[in-house]
A and B are shown apart, each in its own frame.
Chain A
């Protein structure tokens, strides 16, 4: 499937990425790179289902569950993140199934699906805030510093280790993306995103296929949340869960381009660099200006460049490409109820 040249290009790029922290050690830039890699992984996880027209705004909830379950198990029960992270991923997966099953079984699509998942991330935020006796509420939460084995606690002080961990996780996300891209499920899901009834008539188990991809996407997002928590060692409900985080994922994926494997990564690079530049540019005195400019830019992006930067550039590069599939012509096709 993948040509020799492209495989070589990937290998070269990867080797360069692995070598980078040993050559270039500026801690601030490495910190930004780690953040970009972790968020890229989250955005890639979102785009796994987003590219098939399943626009979820509930991923902030999954991410929050991954982060908080891991941290809570560590602080209250002393469970190592090596156990806590899988537990968090399972919890997010179970929630995804509970919400996803009725949605898919009863054909809740389009606006309805978006609003249900939107409410999901809002509710997770409320729960974290409500259980403030355990989670610290909106003031945030810090996992206890490990006294013993650093590896067991998954807490490292140096940026290079974290860079390599984040790189590994990100690479895992890209590999899963390609694995889905080449699987039969992709064709089933593409058929579903274009016409559910026709896909069902052709023998696709619509509910099962949608559930599988949702589960995969939710579990990976929870992993991203847990890694983020372990790296930052401080989480607040607003930075890992809630509507704002969900919207941030969708925006980044769309800005980068949904239908190419590196699109969400590209989106993460652009949005995080933009946010960071704005934050430094405006300084600490003007809190909120960075988000204001960010929001305006995102609205402009959606109006004027709906296919994403990388998507648009790739389209320009290969104009003679095979006839685009209908669902790629629009950023994300979504069935309107009643039509």
Chain B
């Protein structure tokens, strides 16, 4: 083992593994966005802001009301799921027949509303959960338990969604609708209900991501802006609505951010990721998993 570790630069390996751990959470975020896009054909620009609200919910439940983390987490997931369903019911549903760009911009308006709501209600201070998880030392490498836990929970979440989509009737109906919107209504599937369930599911994924991100990052009203753009890039690179593509792209991006952060600031990792994205568009314009034309 030691001989193996000597070959690689120890920091490089640490960055690679941290990248994989980050990839788990990014993949979770991308999955939620892809799900909404694949089924309802709407892009929630405010997706990262839903995560931000979830992070605040966690903060207040744990810090203010003194709930245990593991009781607060399901409540947060439920809350954001309800928010997702409400977003669909109030904003997207009236616009279903409108041009797609109007749906997109309406969720952009919701982004404004959520951000300023957070500013009004919680102020612009940075807050953190105050839970300091220990650091796992492995050889000379250090990994925070928070990242490890997030990675595992993200994987569990994604497996749960997979099982739901393949093993239940509702899940099957969701997949069927994403294949053909018109015909499923004729097959006796209540489209409106399925849309609502999908939105709630997308919200629940944002809630789960919030529970995990709040362990690693401080929460403030504009925290969504720091991982929102990267989520959109992942979804486009993986192919919008393509779950497996999004999953792979999330890990590719996470590696770039993590390795880029090794050599300079984390923000430059994002810049590198964007440059990589532009290059990839030349090579594979229709997404990572698209067949070459």
Contact = CB atoms under 8 A, between A and B. Distances in A.
A295 interface: yes
Contact of B240 (A102, A111, A286, A291): A111
Interface string A152-168: 00000000000000000
A57 B229 CA distance: 11
Contacts, number: 167
Interface string B115-144: 111111000100000000000000000000
Contacts of B228: 122, 243
B110 interface: yes
Given A127-B267, A250-B108, A292-B117, A331 B99 contact: yes
Contacts of B109: 247, 251, 295-296, 298-299, 302
A235 to B, nearest CB: 17
B81 interface: no
Interface string A297-313: 01100110010000000
B258 to A, nearest CB: 16
Contacts of B270: 123, 126, 130
Interface residues of A, number: 57
A140 to B, nearest CB: 15
B99 A243 contact: no
Contact of A291 (B98, B112, B225, B286): B112
Contact of A126 (B45, B117, B124, B271): B271
Interface string A90-134: 000000001100110111101110111011111101110110000
B240 A242 contact: no
A298 B236 CA distance: 26
B110 to A, nearest CB: 6
Contact of A242 (B41, B99, B225, B274): B225
Given A122-B229, A337-B240, A302 B110 contact: no
Interface string B90-121: 01001100111110111011111101111110
Interface residues of B, number: 52
A131 B236 CA distance: 27
B233 A306 contact: no
B120 A331 contact: no
B113 A106 contact: no
B145 interface: no
Contacts of B116: 288-292, 294-295
Interface in A227-263: 238, 242-244, 247, 250-251, 254
A292 B120 contact: yes
A336 B270 CA distance: 28
B171 interface: no
A195 B118 CA distance: 42
Contact of A125 (B104, B119, B225, B278): B225
B102 A302 contact: yes
A105 B37 CA distance: 24
Interface centre among A55, A102, A103 (most CB of B within 10 A): A102
A118 B271 contact: no
B277 interface: yes
A330 B99 contact: yes
Interface centre among B91, B99, B106, B115 (most CB of A within 10 A): B99
A130 B281 contact: no
B274 A123 contact: yes
A1 interface: no
Given A247-B108, A288-B117, 20 more contacts: A57-B108, A99-B278, A102-B278, A102-B281, A119-B274, A126-B270, A242-B225, A247-B111, A287-B124, A288-B118, A288-B119, A289-B116, A291-B116, A292-B113, A292-B120, A296-B109, A298-B112, A299-B113, A334-B101, A337-B240
9 contacts: A106-B286, A123-B229, A123-B271, A244-B115, A288-B118, A295-B112, A330-B102, A334-B101, A336-B100
Interface of B: 37, 41, 43, 45, 91, 94-95, 98-102, 104-106, 108-113, 115-120, 124, 221-222, 225-226, 228-230, 232-233, 235-236, 240, 265, 267-268, 270-271, 274, 277-278, 281-282, 285-286
Closest 5 CB pairs of A and B: A122-B229, A106-B285, A130-B267, A295-B112, A288-B119
